[in-house]
């Protein structure tokens, strides 16, 4: 399967991607991919080192005739989001990604593909190894843990890099040139409860769940109105409690930066209330199917009898907890009044876990405006506080303020129009990019972000366009040829 990907053009880039996808590289588990990249740089005879945080920096001198151009930093992150379908047997800590070709797309079997940001990494690897590409002095910066905390970008010290221009190869639409992004903040609400022992003599156990949603990137895709499995299941449970259902557990979502695709719960009902509860559940399921029929064509809502749980939440606790989750904002919070079609602020109710006396709700709030980001976070804190939760804010990172007068932006827009006969879309995105963080210690860097077309990032539906990678590769080579001279 992956062998057919190796035959794609440009072959060196795709072979580097296939090699990279054999190395486990989940966020905060990058030891093997760091070693892989250090060994790669040294194998080329290039100046290679790893900093204290784990970032890998590889330097390559300018090609003949390009020594007087401004030095360039090529930057991508080494980690990838680990997501798989529940029925996919796969160990991200051991197995290599199983890729295949479907028309113009490279996909993975039941897991995330790692094109985010593996194509960027592979592109830089190809440039480092090439002897036929014109370029100025290069610094390849491979950061770690971009997906779950931007740890690599935060840990990069000032004075390490010499480049004046930074090309971040981490956006996902080949018609766009990105000059800004949103900041983010992890919002976590926790509470304890005292489980009640259930009288099994007249009870039936129910498993209630939702699966088959598209999911996706909680920044890039948040405006598309896709179903959030946690919120939809909570809606069903909230209404079922009024019909007599007793909740035992709830397990939904996974990573903060992925829109939840699946969620399930275990509950109990008495034989007396069974038909009334089931009728309410099926009624809500029908509503949800109709509401999302044009967006979520593969949605599956199910309710099955199962073993009766030993313990459930008290009526008061389940009402408070489900009400809090119902109240928690999910989706677009505010559109930008200054940039057309840009989501300014949003929230993703990413993970819900109710089990063994503990409840945790994990969210990722984003905004391109710092005060707006805090407004989202405080609205969540207020909602959860009414139900007795303790809410903490962690892993905050800043946005990247757009600079429409960027010199490197002028280079890219001019080249794009010359090469493709149309203007590129100059945008700011709602995803988190490392540029804003890198700019803290390197405020004079002229930064830009661009990349090939990737759809479904952070989900098992992730795919990258083959023709777009070819376009991206040619564009990158032309950019390096046209870097301005030193001022």
- Catalytic positions: 79, 146
CA-to-CA dists, residue 77 to 145, 322, 368, 403, angstroms:
7, 37, 21, 23
The whole-angstrom separation of Cα 102 and Cα 122 is 21
What number of CA atoms fall less than 13 Å from residue 19's CA on the CB side? 15
The two three-digit tokens of residue 469, written as one number? 């990678």
361 touches 351 (CB < 8 A):
yes
CA–CA separation, 74 vs 59, rounded Å?
10
Residue 86: Cβ within 10 Å count: 11
d(CA 359, CA 316): 14
Strand locations in 358-459 (E): 358-367, 390-397, 425-427, 446-449, 454-455
How is residue 480 written in tokens? Answer: 């390096």
Angstrom distance (rounded) from CA 120 to CA 192:
43
DSSP state of 178: E
Phi-psi region of 150 (alpha: psi -120 to 50; beta: other; left: phi over 0): left
What is residue 34's DSSP assignment? Answer: H
CA 439, 445, 446, 448 torsion: positive or negative? negative
Q: Where are the beta strands (DSSP E) in 131-253?
A: 138-143, 165-168, 176-178, 183-192, 196-197, 203-211, 246-253
- Residue in the structure block whose two tokens are 């967006």: 295
């Amino acid at each position: 399967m992956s062998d057919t990907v190796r035959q794609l053009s440009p072959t060196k880039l795709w072979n580097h991607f296939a090699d990279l996808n054999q190395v486990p590289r989940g966020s905060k588990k990058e030891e093997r991919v760091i070693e892989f990249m250090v060994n790669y740089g040294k194998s080329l005879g290039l100046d290679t080192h790893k900093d204290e945080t784990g970032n890998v920096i590889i330097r390559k001198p300018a090609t003949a005739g390009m020594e007087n151009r401004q030095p360039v930093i090529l930057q991508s992150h080494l980690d990838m989001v680990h997501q798989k379908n529940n029925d996919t047997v796969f160990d991200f800590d051991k197995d290599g990604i199983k890729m295949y070709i479907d028309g113009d797309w490279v996909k993975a079997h039941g897991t995330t593909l790692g094109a985010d940001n593996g194509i960027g990494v592979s592109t830089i690897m190809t440039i480092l190894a090439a002897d036929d590409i014109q370029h100025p002095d290069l610094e390849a910066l491979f950061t770690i843990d971009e997906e779950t905390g931007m740890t690599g970008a935060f840990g990069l010290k000032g004075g390490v890099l010499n480049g004046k221009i930074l090309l971040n190869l981490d956006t996902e639409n080949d018609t766009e040139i990105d000059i800004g992004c949103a900041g983010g903040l992890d919002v976590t609400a926790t509470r304890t409860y005292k489980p009640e022992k259930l009288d099994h003599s007249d009870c039936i156990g129910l498993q209630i769940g939702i699966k088959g949603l598209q999911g996706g990137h909680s920044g890039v895709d948040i405006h598309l109105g896709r179903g959030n499995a946690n919120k939809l299941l909570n809606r069903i449970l909230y209404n079922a409690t009024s019909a007599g259902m007793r909740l035992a557990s709830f397990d939904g979502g996974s990573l903060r930066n992925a829109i939840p695709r699946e969620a399930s719960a275990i509950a109990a009902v008495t034989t007396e209330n069974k038909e009334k509860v089931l009728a309410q559940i099926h009624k809500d399921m029908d509503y949800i199917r109709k509401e999302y029929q044009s967006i979520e064509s593969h949605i599956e809502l199910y309710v099955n009898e199962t073993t009766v749980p030993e313990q459930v939440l008290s009526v008061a606790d389940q009402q408070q907890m489900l009400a809090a989750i119902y109240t928690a904002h999910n989706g677009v919070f505010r559109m930008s009044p200054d940039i057309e079609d840009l989501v300014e602020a949003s929230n993703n109710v990413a993970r819900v876990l109710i089990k063994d006396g503990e409840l945790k709700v994990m969210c990722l709030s984003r905004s391109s405006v710092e005060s707006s980001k805090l407004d989202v976070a405080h609205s969540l804190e207020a909602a959860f506080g009414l139900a007795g939760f303790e809410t903490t804010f962690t892993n905050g990172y800043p946005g990247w303020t757009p600079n429409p007068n960027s010199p490197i932006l002028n280079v890219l827009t001019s080249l794009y129009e010359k090469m493709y006969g149309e203007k590129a879309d100059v945008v700011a995105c709602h995803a988190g990019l490392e540029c804003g963080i890198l700019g803290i210690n390197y405020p004079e860097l002229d930064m830009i972000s661009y990349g090939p077309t990737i759809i479904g990032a952070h989900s098992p539906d992730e795919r990258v366009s083959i023709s777009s990678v070819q376009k991206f590769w040619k564009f990158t080579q032309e950019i390096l040829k046209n870097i301005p001279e030193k001022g």
